[in-house]
Amino acid sequence: MDREAATAGTASARQRGRADSVFFALALVAAGVVVWVTPHLDRWNVTQLLVLCALTIVGTLVNLAAGPNKLSVAGMMVPLMLTVVLLGPGPAAVLGTCTPLVFWARSRAKPRIVLGNLATFVWFPLIASLQFHGTVQLLDLGSKALGYYLVVFVAYVLGMAVDVIGVFGHRRYLYGASVIQSVREFVLPLMSAHLMVGLLTMVAVFVVVETGTVGIVLTGLVLMVFHYLVGELLKSKQRADQLHRVATTDDLTGLANRERFRARLDEKIAAAKITDEHFAVMLLDLDRFKEVNDTLGHHYGDELLRDLGPRLAATVGPDGLVARLGGDEFAVLPGDSTCESEELEEIAGQLIKCVQQPVVVDEMTLEVGVSIGVARFPRDGDDPHSLLRSADVAMYAAKEAHAGCKVYAAALDRHSVRRLSVLSEFRRALDADEIVVFYQPIMHMDGTRVHGAEALVRWQHPELGLLPPSDFIPIVEQTGLIGPLTRHVLERAIAQCAGWRQAGRDLTVSVNLSVRNLLDPEVPGHIGDLLTLYGLVPEALQLEITESMLMSDPDRSLVTLTRLAQLGVGLSVDDYGTGYSSLANLRRLPIDELKIDRSFVSPMLSDESDLIIVRSTINLGHDLGLKVVAEGVEDEATLTRLAGLGCDFAQGYHFSKPLAPDAFNRWIGIPIEALDTVPRASTDLSEQAAAA
């Protein structure tokens, strides 16, 4: 038994004064008394004792470690047992001191630990020797009898038992650790190897009895070969275990991976069908994680996930399973088998609290949320695919509703079907001119003069009615269709603004770009062509980008922004304050406008911290030579306060909701007949959409 492994972690041991040291000292004295009263059992053969001592020391030094606890294959047991059989209890007890002394020389353990080692390694060969010689004498067994060697094996097992009791009894005293748990952890994994040593001990005794000292030397050679072979076997097992861990474990978080989760789910379903058990599966998708990755870089995202993995596992507990399926998506098999919605929502609530705990990375505090979908077996699916699909549907429903957690219901599938139909219908929608552009006014601070308008896309669906951008933009952004959509909106907005100016109103128009647009080198050229086509001066077009877009690929973004600025168009940072952009980033960008996010503007009259953020942003913008627009202005009091803070422009429902083109023209007082007809999307644009 490897004493070093068994007594690791002394920092957490209980402080028991000198009681254990006194006990072990008395145990050593008692062992000396036993040796003194049993001299008739001893054979003090100095040559053999020295050879066996050398073999014991070598066996201790070359112990073969295996497994996460670095358990040993007891390399010193064969020479110790040879001493027990050949030389008797006195020499065996003396030789037993070699192992703890070698251990002390290697580890410089505390004196109390060394004393405990000495007591154990003196008593177990002493007891084994007394048992062996007493049994042999009682049964009158000679070295030619088979029973003689069976008694050798019994003595070996007894010695191992005393060793285990001594080691883990002391461990129980120091740490309060369960003896049974310790045996299960430290002994059972290598039980076959220890029994193999017991058989080898029987063979070694037979050889030495027949050949004397020469046999001891031969035994030493055999032990070296044995150590080598067992070492290779252990290394092979370790490599196999490592490969299995790699194949079933997520390297970043240490959680189970998709394959392991799927296998566990298969097993759970098979068992549940036999026992009629009900259980649930949960899918977790982090909220705002993409923003962390895009703005700060993958290092911050990885560190956040690395911190989150163990916390999720601790929350679920040892009876459950947490797996990282990929990216920021996790799957959970709760330890409690239940399908009750209240209990499942309680478990989900614990997971939400776990995820929402702030994480500090490089002195920056990161916070994310989570959306959880729950599916129940067998109600929502009776196989892995249908269960995970139902959980996925519920998770997206939770995300869209900002509800934290949703338990699957059949009604939620309608939303899922609509999500899946978006991509197939969107190409047709562009071609059929169902994608329309609404306009929301941007006002001067006196509340009466219109400065311009922001172009906001809508989908006039023939069956579902007018769809807001949140119903299709997130899906379209993940595909090649975002390019044709942006070009469609740009053409409508530029043509509309040109019409306003032809009617005598010098207004501007703002258009939102996506991150894919910002990384597309063809976008500046296309915008220049549209400005020329409709005769609109570049300064009348304002392009809005978000903070997270700027950080997704800063170098490529800067190239595109520089080319756009060279065209003469305005550049605005939208939703300012919700991302992680820094003052240094703002200074290097060719922007001329900041838009303060509505989440700070709307509550600013009732929340002092939001008011401070708004005031600071306005001052910062002006210090950098930028115009500042406040979004989300809902009432006259907020407008008045913003004007007092020096804000340049305002936008919100206090002035008007987003309006269709004709309604907006009437709102600003331009007769419809005074405007040229806004043209349909050009043929090449429709062709691009069809090809995307």
3-state secondary structure 30-42: HHHHHHHHCHHHC
Domain presence at residue 127 = yes
Identify whether residues 262 and 244 lie together within a single domain. no
CATH code, domain with 588 = 3.20.20.450
Identify whether residues 240 and 293 lie together within a single domain. no
Domain presence at residue 414 = no
pLDDT score at 176: 66
Distances (CA, A) of 148 to 20, 84, 132, 157, 214: 38, 13, 9, 15, 21
Question: At which residue do the structure tokens 């400065």 appear?
Answer: 451
**Roughly what angle, to the nearest 10 degrees, separates helices 258-275 and 384-401?**
110
Identify whether residues 454 and 585 lie together within a single domain. yes
SS3 580: coil
CA contacts within 13 A on the Cβ side of 99: 33
Q: What angle do CA 384, 390, 393 make, to 5 degrees?
A: 140
Last residue of a domain, one of 343, 374, 408: 408
Last residue of a domain, one of 190, 219, 248: 248
Cβ-proximal residues to 301 (8 Å cutoff; 6+ apart), any chain: 289, 292, 293, 328
Identify whether residues 404 and 277 lie together within a single domain. yes
- Work out the number of other CB atoms within 10 angstroms of the CB of residue 613: 19
Q: What angle do CA 46, 48, 53 make, to 5 degrees?
A: 90
- Work out the number of other CB atoms within 10 angstroms of the CB of residue 403: 12
Return d(Cα 484, Cα 683) in angstroms, integer: 12
Question: How many helices, marked H, and strands, marked E, lie in the chain?
Answer: 29, 18
Residue 504 corresponds to which tokens in the numbers above?
């005598």
Return d(Cα 691, Cα 116) in angstroms, integer: 79
Structure pTM? 0.48
Residue 223 corresponds to which tokens in the numbers above?
């032990």
Domain presence at residue 692 = no
Return d(Cα 641, Cα 463) in angstroms, integer: 44
Identify whether residues 151 and 232 lie together within a single domain. yes
Residues of the chain scoring pLDDT < 70: 1-18, 61-75, 107-109, 170-171, 174-177, 179, 182, 185-187, 189-190, 226-228, 230-231, 234, 238, 241, 244, 411, 413-423, 478-479, 547-554, 575, 577-586, 672-692
- Work out the number of other CB atoms within 10 angstroms of the CB of residue 44: 12
Residue 325 corresponds to which tokens in the numbers above?
């399926």
Identify whether residues 432 and 468 lie together within a single domain. yes
SS3 638: helix
Domain presence at residue 433 = yes
Domain presence at residue 413 = no
CATH code, domain with 15 = 1.10.1760.20
Question: At which residue do the structure tokens 């399908």 appear?
Answer: 339
CA contacts within 13 A on the Cβ side of 508: 19
Which pairing describes strands 279-287 and 329-333: parallel, antiparallel, or unpaired? Answer: antiparallel
Identify whether residues 433 and 507 lie together within a single domain. yes
Identify whether residues 218 and 298 lie together within a single domain. no
Q: Give which of 636, 631, 667 is closest to 651, Cα–Cα.
A: 631
Alpha helices, DSSP H, located in 523-607: 523-534, 547-552, 554-567, 583-588, 598-601
Alpha helices, DSSP H, located in 368-478: 384-401, 413-431, 473-476
Q: What letters, b where the CB count within 10 A reaches 16 and e where it falls short, cover 348-363?
A: beebbebbeeebebee
Q: What letters, b where the CB count within 10 A reaches 16 and e where it falls short, cover 226-256?
A: bbeebeeebeeeeeeeeeeeeebbbeebebb
Identify whether residues 22 and 171 lie together within a single domain. yes
Instruction: Provide the CA 416 distance to its chain's centre, in angstroms.
Output: 27
Question: Which amino acid makes up residue 352?
Answer: I
pLDDT score at 540: 96
Using CB atoms within 10 Å of the CB of residue 662, give its burial: 0 to 12 exposed, 13 to 18 middle, 19+ buried. Answer: exposed
Return d(Cα 212, Cα 51) in angstroms, integer: 12
pLDDT score at 230: 67
Domain presence at residue 688 = no
Range of the domain at 349: 258-408
pLDDT digits (tens, 9 = 90+) for 509-533: 999 998 778 878 889 999 999 999 9
Identify whether residues 330 and 432 lie together within a single domain. no
Residues comprising the chain, all counted: 692
Q: What residues pair up with 571 in beta bridges, in sequence order?
A: 543
Identify whether residues 396 and 453 lie together within a single domain. no
Return d(Cα 404, Cα 349) in angstroms, integer: 8
Last residue of a domain, one of 226, 248, 270: 248
Domain presence at residue 649 = yes
CATH code, domain with 381 = 3.30.70.270
**Structural domains counted in the chain:** 3
pLDDT score at 4: 42
Return d(Cα 199, Cα 46) in angstroms, integer: 26
User: DSSP assignment of 105-123, as one string?
Assistant: HHH---HHHHHHHHHHHHH
Return d(Cα 572, Cα 466) in angstroms, integer: 28
Identify whether residues 291 and 184 lie together within a single domain. no
Residue 364 dihedral angles phi and psi, to the nearest 5°:
-115, 130
Domain presence at residue 687 = no
pLDDT score at 676: 53
Q: Give which of 384, 408, 239 is closest to 325, Cα–Cα.
A: 384
Residue 211 corresponds to which tokens in the numbers above?
């050949």
pLDDT score at 11: 41
